[in-house]
Amino acid sequence: MCNTHSNGHAHGVRSDQDKAVADLRDDLIEELKLITKYDAQIPVIAAEDFTGVDDVVHVLGHIRDEHKHAVNTLLEFINRLDAGQKAASAHEHEDAHEHEHGDKHAHQH
């Protein structure tokens, strides 16, 4: 799962959480590719005529559905981390603004 480079690019000065979120987004992309693969593969196999074709289609559908569940889990988790990052960023911005504002008053006296 862990990919120290998101889409082939170094993370640079990102925080560990930023790196983890980038890795999760890469995982999400891979899960979506697998779902697309199974969605294309299932009807082709279902059209074949061999003993056990229904079992193969059933198993592939089950595997695809597990990947869909993984997508939902990843999306929920990424959204939760993004919300936490936004809240932390807003708090840091407020602290910086208060510090700058406080310094101006200190110099005026």
Each domain of the chain, given as residue ranges in start order, spans 16-108
Give residue 30's identity as a one-letter amino acid code: E
Of 78, 81, 72, 62, which Cα lies nearest the Cα of 31? 72
Look at residue 37 and tell me whether its pLDDT is greater than 90. Answer: yes
* Structure-token pair, residue 6: 């998101």
**Average pLDDT of span 16-24:** 91
Per-residue model confidence (pLDDT) at position 17 = 86
SS3 at position 5: strand
Per-residue model confidence (pLDDT) at position 103 = 55
pTM: 0.69
pLDDT, tens only, 38-96: 999 999 999 999 999 999 999 999 999 999 999 999 999 999 998 877 777 777 667 66
